[in-house]
Amino acid sequence: RIVAIDGPAGAGKSTIAKALAVSLSIPYLDTGAMYRMVTYAALRDGIDLKNESGVADVAKRMNAVMSSDRFFVDDVDVTDIIRGPQVTEAVSTVAALSAVRNELRVSQRSWVENAGGGVVEGRDIGTVVFPDATLKVFLTASPSVRAQRRVAQSGGDVVVIEEQIRQRDHLDSTRADSPLRESSDSLFIDTTDLSIETVVKQIASSVNSIESKSNE
Ligand code: DC
């Protein structure tokens, strides 16, 4: 049982994916945090982010541990720092490197296999990582609402944040390797005017109806 949740920054993916995982009683995997952990480790080691094999080596070498809500790289708790401005600004550059994506894709697939399924959140989960997921969801929201949500979560100036989000979305959707793209068979939800609860219920009921159809 795999639910793939993709969409741009601030569409509500994390909040919704976490709540959905609880409601379906399956594990939750935040793949954006994995790209953030690699970015953190590459910056820590002073690796030029355009040095693809150098950054991929860091991804291979680092010991990344994810618990339900904390993230550790080489035994350091990086939960807060991976959401900070330095990592956030650099992460799209790292996420565009194919050698890094190949590395993380393997980890993501084995994580889900070991966990026996999960709600997996990212940009290329339904299109590339788990094209045969039970359900693929594409979440979006208007850019200004996405920026307002980020500001409510982590502070900052809404105009600046909106511009950063637009830049990151542009990089994420125009890169050559597995760009952010809606899969043709995904459930598309615009969360601009919807509550978290409504969206979670809608996705959970889609999963249940898919599963009851396949059990018929
Ligand atoms: O969801 P997030 O903001 O934590 O994601 C961080 C970055 O990682 C974002 O710029 C897109 C990239 N990413 C990706 O390319 N593929 C994924 N599966 C998840 C995230």
Prediction pTM value: 0.94
Tens of pLDDT, residues 105-159: 999 999 999 999 999 999 999 999 999 999 999 999 999 999 999 899 888 999 9
Instruction: Give the model's pLDDT for residue 216.
Output: 80
Best residue for ligand 1 mutational test, from 91, 146, 167 (most atoms within 8 Å of Cβ) = 91
Ligand 1: atom nearest CA of 104 is 18
Instruction: Give the model's pLDDT for residue 68.
Output: 75
Instruction: Give the model's pLDDT for residue 154.
Output: 81
- Please, what is the average pLDDT of the chain? 95
Q: What confidence tier does 69 reach under pLDDT thresholds 50, 70, 90?
A: confident
User: Ligand 1 — pocket residues by CB below 6 A?
Assistant: 9, 31-33, 35-36, 91-92, 95, 122-125, 168, 172
Three state DSSP letters for 84-143: CHHHHHHHHHHHCCHHHHHHHHHHHHHHHHHHCCEEEEECCHHHHHCCCCCEEEEEECCH
* Interval between CA 215 and ligand 1 midpoint (Å): 34
Residue nearest to atom 14 of ligand 1 (CA): 123
> Which residues are within 8 A (CB) of 6 and not within 5 positions of it... i.e. 6 or more apart?
13, 121, 122, 123, 124, 125, 126, 127, 136, 137, 138, 139, 180, 182, 183, 186
Residue (of 141, 37, 149) closest to 95 by Cα position: 37
